[in-house]
Structure 1
């Protein structure tokens, strides 16, 4: 049995704040509308953590089998390094797929009055698709991460499904302004993947992994990255402009310098070793932005406008 430290490395704990950002963003939108539920927040967070770890394990396994990680920069992968065997990793993937499904079902049972209603079945389908997307990024006969579709699926599942889905489980009704917030978080999450792809361009190209950066080239990847972050911030500002009732709900702009500094590094550096730290920095900048949205909402509820 592999040492627990190798499983912790395979779980890639540094990716978890970004996944939680999606749930916290949807929940703060629910709080702004007066429909926040603690039980939904707790179960949605747990489900998201299981899904993110599942995705990380499947990514480690898929890239290890394909040999993509052989010359990569950054964190060591466990299957490629031999610390965890392919069979052991597959077993853990099955465990976390089961945990994700069970947690998701409990979440739907809590949030929806009739889990087998049309709405319940739609969310159940979204949950099953989320599990499939977490696994099929690099695993299977046609992994979409090797075909340039990774950014799209990250945008959909971290943005529209993660943020808007969690909001809907709180509120049980549709809201156009929340779509702007969902788009913003989805774009920032796609930006994190793009940093990964900029760092790994050479190794991905050698392994036949056709990310958008490999397809379009380094210069395209940098321009694309700037657009992702710029439009994400436009959507954030547009959301808060229509929803804020207090200046305290604008605290999130304090993180803007973090994004500007990040973009400077991405624009001016090409070396994988220089780009690798930006993965963590962009993930944490996104998380801090959402947490300042949460803090602003809490302060508004405590002290008013």
Structure 2
């Protein structure tokens, strides 16, 4: 029987900061525009956490079924790969976490839309279901899109555009065009984390038939791609701040820039794929730090 330690390992706590960053960004923007809702914010954080855990369970399950999680993989050993969690147990875990995330998501959408728009309620329920479906079919299922190079697009949408714009709408009950820019920024940074993961596992993925973008592009081009995403992520949020500036506090997020620059410089020089592994966690934490500083700047700007 799987232990609590094994389930925590399967939940991959180091991925959670990235999952929460987009939610926090949406909440910070809602505060800046005077539309923050505490209930919506708390439910959004809980729902996003559970969906990310569900996604990690499904990823563990899918890669194990396809044989991608093997002795040649350079990342941490997965729980099904090591035998800590059986296939039956993982299915039960996915059902439980998926069910809880759906219930919390239902409450989130109800509090965020029901009184204002029944149409928005239906649309957001659909987006919630789509998020769970996308989380499952990333690597699980016979036609998982992560194996044909579409993972980057999914991460950009579900870690960038959807959480930032969606959470802002659930708080404010309207769409603000300017929020697209920080949403795009979060999408690029989040996709950068996935790209590092795929760069690390490029050889094993190629042998396992997992055709990620780095497998398609090669080592050199995948690093140029990574550099471009980080640069565009910073550029879009700087443009937002220039156009929406009310206070010098809004530039507080620049304190996170050295972490991105230092790590990016190291990543571009790394020759051994295994050495990329620590930078997944570092980019996730840097993105969270950037988000917290950005949101703090927004709050101070209108205080």
What TM-score do the two structures reach when normalised by structure 2? Answer: 0.97
Aligned equivalent of 1:27: 27
Instruction: Name the counterpart of 2:43.
Output: 43
Q: 2: distance between equivalents of 1:47 and 1:116?
A: 21
1:183 matched to which residue of 2? Answer: 184
CA contact (8 A) 1:188 1:232 kept: yes
Q: Decide whether the 8 Å contact of 1:265 with 1:275 is kept in 2.
A: no
Structure 2 gap segments, 5+ residues each = none
Deviations 1:92-133 (A, max 9, x none): 011111011101100011111358822111111100000001
Structure 1 residue runs of 5 or longer lacking an equivalent are none
Report what 2:57 is aligned to.
Answer: 57
Structure 2 matches for 1:81-160, cutoff 5 A?
81-114=82-115, 117-160=118-161
Q: Answer yes or no: is the 8 Å Cα contact 1:65–1:80 preserved in 2.
A: no
Q: Give the SS at the match of 1:74.
A: coil
What secondary structure does 1:68 align onto?
coil
> CA separation in 2, counterparts of 1:250 and 1:137?
36
CA root-mean-square deviation: 1.2
Structure 2 Cα separation of the partners of residues 88 and 173 of structure 1: 42
CA distance 1:116–1:297, change in 2 (3 Å): closer
Partner of 2:169: 168
CA contact (8 A) 1:58 1:93 kept: yes
- Matched residues, number: 302
SS in 1 for 2:69: helix
The question of whether the paired residues in 2 share the 8 Å contact of 1:60 and 1:77 is answered with yes
What TM-score, normalized to structure 1? Answer: 0.96
